[in-house]
């Protein structure tokens, strides 16, 4: 399996009111969720190994920025000394659960349960990639169909999602890669300024986004 589990913990040992540091913590969490996939409700996330280097480089950068900001604030504001010590940021990595990791004399039902649960989580994590792409397409279609202001960032976010799939596609789903590649090419050619100016183009792009959105839906179905 070309993925591992990661758990991010950001703890505050006491209440810290500094908005800049709190914003940095929020950015770390947002990046963590965007670059990992749901595993379970206990805080574990699935990190594709192809995304590991990118993930660690960015998270390390966030941590360094946080420490530098905390030290600078502590120097300028003595009343907020040792700010970096008031936070605890930890990353823990684990292998994907498997019956192979359990004792030989473990109950067979327990071993089967571990493997079945892992398979469901893996399938749902892969489905999440389709759902993320579908959500971007749905949003574009709804904005254009509803006559709302069309922001260029909607196309940028869609292109970024298509690019990220190359790193996040841990199951080597060629259909997903081809689909994301086509979406990236088609919507990458669009100019937001032209879309805002031309009603007919808005209608065509909305219809196109909805067509691709509907194509994503079945692929993104999750198992319970």
Q: 101 in a domain, yes or no?
A: no
Ranges under pLDDT 70 in the chain:
1, 12-17, 79-81, 98-115, 220-224
CB burial of 62-92 (b: ≥16 within 10 Å; e: otherwise) equals beeebeebbeebbeeeeebeebbebbebeee
The span from the CA of 66 to the CA of 6, in Å, is: 20
DSSP bridge pairs for 87: 12
pLDDT at residue 221 in the model: 63
81 and 141 fall within a common domain:
no
The residue among 73, 96, 119 that closes a domain is 96
Q: Supply the range of the domain harboring residue 14.
A: 3-96
Q: 224 in a domain, yes or no?
A: no
The span from the CA of 94 to the CA of 58, in Å, is: 20
87 and 139 fall within a common domain:
no
74 and 123 fall within a common domain:
no
pLDDT at residue 101 in the model: 45
pLDDT at residue 110 in the model: 40
140 and 38 fall within a common domain:
no
202 and 152 fall within a common domain:
yes
Q: 117 in a domain, yes or no?
A: yes
198 and 114 fall within a common domain:
yes
pLDDT at residue 103 in the model: 42
Residue 140 to residues 50, 199, 210, 217, Cα–Cα distance (Å) = 28, 15, 8, 15
pLDDT at residue 109 in the model: 43
């Amino acid at each position: 399996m070309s993925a591992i589990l990661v758990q991010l913990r950001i703890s505050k040992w006491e209440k810290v009111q500094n908005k800049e540091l709190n914003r940095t913590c929020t950015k770390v969490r947002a990046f963590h969720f965007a670059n990992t996939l749901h595993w379970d409700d206990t805080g574990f996330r699935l990190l594709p190994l192809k995304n590991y280097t990118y993930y660690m480089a960015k998270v390390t950068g966030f941590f360094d920025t946080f420490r530098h900001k905390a030290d600078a604030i502590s120097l300028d504001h003595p009343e907020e000394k040792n700010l970096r010590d008031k936070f605890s940021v930890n990353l823990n990595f684990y292998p994907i659960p498997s019956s192979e990791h359990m004792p030989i004399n473990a109950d067979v039902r327990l071993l089967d349960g571990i493997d079945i649960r892992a398979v469901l989580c893996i399938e749902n994590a892969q489905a999440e990639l389709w759902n993320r792409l579908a959500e971007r397409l749905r949003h574009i279609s709804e904005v254009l169909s509803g006559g709302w202001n069309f922001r260029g960032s909607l196309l940028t976010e869609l292109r970024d999602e298509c690019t990220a799939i190359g790193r996040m596609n841990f199951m080597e789903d060629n259909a997903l890669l081809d689909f994301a590649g086509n979406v990236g090419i088609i919507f990458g050619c669009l100019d937001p300024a032209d879309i805002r100016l031309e009603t007919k183009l808005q209608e065509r792009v909305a219809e196109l986004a909805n067509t691709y959105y509907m194509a994503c839906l079945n692929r993104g179905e999750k198992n319970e």
